Amino acid sequence: MTPLTTALLRRLSEAAGGPGNEGAVRDLIARALHPHVDALHIDAMGNLTAIKRGRGEGDLRVALTAHMDEVALFITEIDSNGLLHVAASGGVNARTLAGKGVLVGPEQLPGVIGWPPPHLQRHNNDESKRVPKIEDLVIDIGAADKEAAAARVKIGQQALFATRFGFLGRDQAVAEEAPLPQKGRIKGKAFDDRLGCAAAMALLMGPALPCDLHAIFTVQEEVGVRGALAAAEMLAVDLLLVLEGTVCDDLPGPVDEPRFPTTRLGDGPALTQRDGSYVVQAAVLQHLLRTAAAHGIPYQFKHPNAGGTDASGFGRYRATPTGILSTPCRYIHGPVAVAELGDFHALIQLLRAVLADEAALARLVGRS
């Protein structure tokens, strides 16, 4: 039985947490974890660390990590029409933004990202082919002019997608306070990496494990693993497991081109062999594969050599054995993502199986 409720995952997904503005996410995680952990600590960068003591005799220390921030827009200029010009914080595909609803600033002011309607595009040959760039987009918060907009919004404030968490393809409503369903497709924003945060929380909120469990919820991953870099020097654990919501591009592509999706929805958690910024130690990967096989947990390999995670930041100072496990999420870094709960729960199941076997962990990290 998962300790996570639908309401908690909804709040995680809907919380506003652009890079450098993770306060709301941090508060939510800290409050949810408080009854379940032995210590909570926030460093000067804003990284949140939770520690849950093990019930075992050993002194093995394992850390889980997930990043709290999500890609966001931030306000760069308020023009004379009261429209807000924006830049991106983290990697955003501008083509996915036009016409979407956003929430601006700490007061969550509703706004919409404007784009000319099709009527006008037909009158202008070039317009129909124009691909929006971030600097072409504006947020309309309903202000009549610059003065009215400036009274409500400040330059530098973040704008995040106004996407509500929900279920796809489900006939009956899901009880908010009941345990998260085991299967089914969910949609929402910020699955990269609130699903990682939620997976770490599931372990901390569950029964005690043999080893001491640290969970580091980092800031500013999307703008260059900056929170992880700050936390890395103090990190002294035997094993680090990075939990991510990762790219899933298992959609139809150009007809004549072979398709090699990064991951596929529903094929289980994605294990990283190596990505663009980190090589997972062979012994760690083999341990994850053996554990998955022993417990009949499905998994898939993430397409090698692409992307990067906090593993590179945490790997900057100490040579800590590190694994990377992800829940595949379609359409990440856009207004709405889709994930399969079966993949998410299987990832948690694999983590729990790995952490439950202290003797095998001690052998893995050379502490037996």
Site of interaction with other proteins (CB under 8 A) = 233, 258, 260, 273-274, 277-279, 281-282, 301, 303-306, 312, 315-321, 365
Q: How far is the CB of 280 from other proteins (least distance, A)?
A: 9
221 vs 205: CA distance, rounded Å: 24
Least distance to other proteins, CB of residue 2, Å: 31
DSSP for 179-214, written as a single string: BPPSS-EEEES-HHHHHHHHHHHHHHHSSPPSSEEE
DSSP 3-state of 329: strand
User: Closest approach of Cβ 21 to other proteins, in Å?
Assistant: 29
Would you say 207 or 304 has its CB closer to other proteins?
304
Least separation in angstroms between residue 321's CB and other proteins is 5
Whose Cβ is closer to other proteins: residue 29's or residue 242's? 242
Contacts (Cβ under 8 Å, ≥6 apart) of 126: none
Q: Which residue has the tokens 């800290």?
A: 30
Nearest Cα neighbor of 196 from 258, 96, 272 is 272
Nearer to other proteins, 64 or 71 (CB): 64
* Nearest distance in Å: CB 90, other proteins: 21
CA 120/CA 128 separation, integer angstroms: 9
Query: What secondary structure letter does DSSP report for 9?
Result: H
For the beta carbon of residue 67, count every other beta carbon within 10 angstroms. Answer: 32
Nearest residue (CB) to other proteins, 108 versus 281: 281
Beta carbon nearer to other proteins, 117 or 258: 258
| Choice between 121 and 273, CB closer to other proteins | 273
Q: Coil, strand or helix: which one is 150?
A: helix
Give least dist CB 229 to other proteins, A: 11
